[in-house]
Every structure is written in C-alpha cells, then in structure tokens.
A and B are shown apart, each in its own frame.
Chain A
Amino acid sequence: MNKYLSYPEGYNKLVHDMLPFYLRPAKKMLMRLLLVILRDG
C-alpha cells in the first residue's frame, strides 16, 4: 500500500520525505505550484 495516498497524513509525509530540509520552510508555496502543474498539465 502506497503510504502517500491519504490526505493530509500521506501528503504531509511525502512533502517531508521529498523536499530537502532547506526547502521545507517554503513547502506551501513550492507544493502548491507543483500540484497545479500535475493537475492542469
């Protein structure tokens, strides 16, 4: 079972695992645009 599928738990875990620590403070802004690209693109 993919541990990232639920929201918000899985989503938050993905953000934590995927982003380098120095980018985590900007996670809200970074993830919003990435999701828009994957959603609309």
Chain B
Amino acid sequence: MNKKELQKERIALFRDAANFKHVDRIPHLGCVVTWKILDAGYTLSEAMTNFDVLEKSVRYFLDKYPVDAMLDIGIRNQFNVTEAFGTPGYYYYNDEVVGIHDHAYCTVDTLMDFLNDPDRYTWEKILPEKYGEDWKKKDLATWKKTFSEYMKYTKFVLKMASVTGKEYGLPSMAPNNPMKGSIQFAIEELEANLLGIKGLSLALRRNADQLETFVRGWDEQHIDPIIEEIKKSNGPSEKYCFDASIMMLAHNLLRPEQFERFYWPSLKKLLDAYADKKMNVRIFAEGSILRYADYFKDYPKGVLTFHIEKDDPFEFRQAFPNACIMGGMTTDMLYMSSPEECVDYTKKLCDELGKDGGFIFSENKMLSYKNDAKSENLLAVCEFLNSYKM
C-alpha cells in the first residue's frame, strides 16, 4: 500500500468510527505536542526556534509510534517570529516547558472597539500596551527580520504537511486554518485573550448584557459566515478525517444558565448546520462536558465526536450514546503504569466502546511534559492498536 492509499484508509477509518460503523481496528489520534521533542532527546530550548530539530522530532515520533493521525505536526509555536521581533510575548519556554501568561486585550468597555475594527484596535491599543516602550522603537529592519521569520515559519508548515502526508501517510484532521487551529467562539476568545480568565469571570457577573451584545456581534463576524459556507458545501469531505474542529474550554468557567446564554446559541446554530449536511465535528472538550449532555442529545450519530479530557469514557458513553468518543487513555496511566496495564486498559476501551464503531483511541491530554508518558507504554499501546482486530 502506498502512502496515498494509507492516507485514504486512515481517513475512512476515522470517518467510519465517527459514524458508528464497524471498523477492523480502532484508529489512534496521537494527541502529542512537545512530549515528542523530549522523547527524541532534545530540550525544548533546542527545538522551539529550530525547524530542523522540530522536523527530526516529528520524524522520530512517527518512525517509532505508528499512530493514524497527529494533533500537532511540529507547527504549534511561532517562537522564531516573536523572538525576531525582539521583545518577549505571552508565551515562554525553557528546557522542559512551554507556558503562557494570562493576559487581557480589552476591558468590558472596549470589547466593541475591538470587534468593530480589530486591525486598528490591535495596532493602536494591543501591540503598544503589550510591547511598551519597545513598540515605538521597532524600525524597518526589525519588521523585515520578523517578516522573514514569518515566511520561514509558513514554509515550514507547508513542508511538514507534505512530510507527514506524503512520507508517512498521515491525513489532515479537519479543514481549518492549520496555523491557528480551530473555530473560535466568542466566549473562548474572551477567556483566552480579550478579557482573560479573571476578567471574564468578573464580567459574567457584573456586565452580562455587554457580554451578550459582544457575543452576538462576534457571531455575525465569525460564526455566521462559516454557517453560510457550510450551507453551500457538498457535505463531508473525503480529504479530511473530520469536517470541523472545535476546542471547548470556557464552558468549565460557566454556570449552566451562563452556558445557555453565552455559549449554547452560538454552538447550536453551528452544529445544526453541520448536522443538516451530515458532517462530523470533532470537539476537544477540555475539562468536563458531562453536565451539558442534555444539550447534545438530539443530534444523530455521525455528527459529534467528543475528544474528552477529564470525563470518564464509560460514564460519557452512557450520557452521550449518540456521540463518538475520542480519547480514553490518561496521561497518568501512560506514565505511572506498566506496558501490560496500559495494553489491558486499551483492550477494555476498544472492546467496550468500539465494537460497533463510535470510538477513536487517543490520549486525554496533549502530551507535553516528560512525565506525561513513558515511551515503552506508548509504544506498547500503539503496537496493540495496530494489531488488534475488532
């Protein structure tokens, strides 16, 4: 089988599992980010701005662990661009960890300024405040150097898509922007960037009406155009494992009535549009989504795939009988247990959740730190999944 055929086979495997069709073996999405760099013997400091090291780390991982798809093909961070700009940003790294500082671009009173003209607001407010006095000193040479690194990064993204696709037969996950990830809802952008965790938490209690106005305006700009594109589409694309990718984190901050007001209307209209076209959406539900199960109960099988983090997969199956489960393997087990225990648990997941489709194996967190997994455990699990016939 050549790599193109392998890619097609893997896409079909993900699609069939998501549609609750029987599969010969359970597909495995490698939910691996910086762990693969450490596993390849490099420090993060050696890798973060060195595309050769990043590529070697991805190749090392794929040569060793035969996964069917990868969450990150080495392109998540753009430190070479921000470092060329010369002033530290929100993200930071050392030899073992990549982290981010909580930050806020807006106050509740300036949210609509951002929404009405994001480019102007970014240029006049966010960047000057972020970079302080340094902002005024950025000359043409600095900008040209930064732009040059940005072009190198863009070429690296294209190169890694080609390496993983043509040399390893890995399919693309979903037709989203490969550099910035998934569809972003207003409440998620508020939490991640615009107000920050603390600012959003306060605003939910004190400024609910202003937040709602912002959320509706955000939808008009960012969600409604996607829905129009979905309506014009021909349905599922066989070029990807899923038709869309969504990350949910902010629901963990919300009370049910806040979810109902600020999140669900936006999410529902998007999911309804995908459901009308029989398209499948992968939702990475960080934290726990179990308490919102009732909202999703009317979607037919084949629309929702939940990549779960803290929720127990067997409890999740009871609460979401209509949604494909992605995940199951915990980082705790991958680090603390033996290869035999990991394989036994993997077998239980496959047998109890994947007999008639509806299950895709993955790790419950993005493998990032050295202690997120032992190599021999991940290797044993990969080998089992590749040989275990359903």
Contact = CB atoms under 8 A, between A and B. Distances in A.
A29 to B, nearest CB: 11
Contacts of A14: 140, 143
A33 B180 contact: yes
B60 interface: no
Contacts of B127: 35, 38-39
Interface string A1-30: 010110110010010011100000000001
B120 A34 contact: no
Range of interface residues on B (Cβ < 8 Å):
20 to 34
Contact of A11 (B123, B135, B139, B179): B123
A35 to B, nearest CB: 6
Given A18-B143, A38-B82, A39-B130, A7 B124 contact: yes
Q: Tell which of B120, B135, B144, B147 has the most Cβ of chain A within 10 Å.
A: B147
Interface residues of A, number: 21
A30 to B, nearest CB: 8
Contacts of B77: 41
B82 A2 contact: no
B144 A18 contact: yes
A18 B89 contact: no
Contact of A34 (B89, B90, B130, B147): B147
B136 A36 contact: no
B126 A17 contact: no
B193 interface: yes
A5 B136 contact: yes
Contacts of B147: 18-19, 34
A33 B151 CA distance: 11
B82 A18 contact: no
Contacts of A33: 150, 179-180
Contacts of B128: 5
B182 interface: no
B49 interface: no
Given A18-B140, A41-B82, A41-B90, A34 B150 contact: yes
A26 to B, nearest CB: 11
Contact of B120 (A8, A19, A30, A38): A8
Given A17-B140, A18-B140, A7 B81 contact: no
A41 B124 contact: no
A25 to B, nearest CB: 15
A41 B89 contact: yes
Interface in B74-132: 77-79, 81-82, 85, 89-91, 105, 119-120, 122-124, 126-128, 130
10 contacts: A2-B139, A4-B138, A7-B119, A17-B143, A18-B147, A36-B180, A37-B78, A38-B81, A39-B105, A39-B127
Interface of A: 2, 4-5, 7-8, 11, 14, 17-19, 30, 32-41
Given A17-B140, A37-B78, A38-B89, 15 more contacts: A2-B136, A2-B137, A4-B140, A5-B128, A5-B135, A17-B143, A18-B140, A33-B180, A34-B146, A34-B147, A37-B81, A38-B127, A39-B122, A39-B193, A41-B81
Interface of B: 77-79, 81-82, 85, 89-91, 105, 119-120, 122-124, 126-128, 130, 135-140, 143-144, 146-147, 150, 179-180, 193
Which 9 A-B pairs give the minimum distances between C-beta atoms?
A: A7-B123, A41-B82, A41-B89, A37-B78, A18-B143, A7-B120, A37-B81, A34-B150, A2-B136
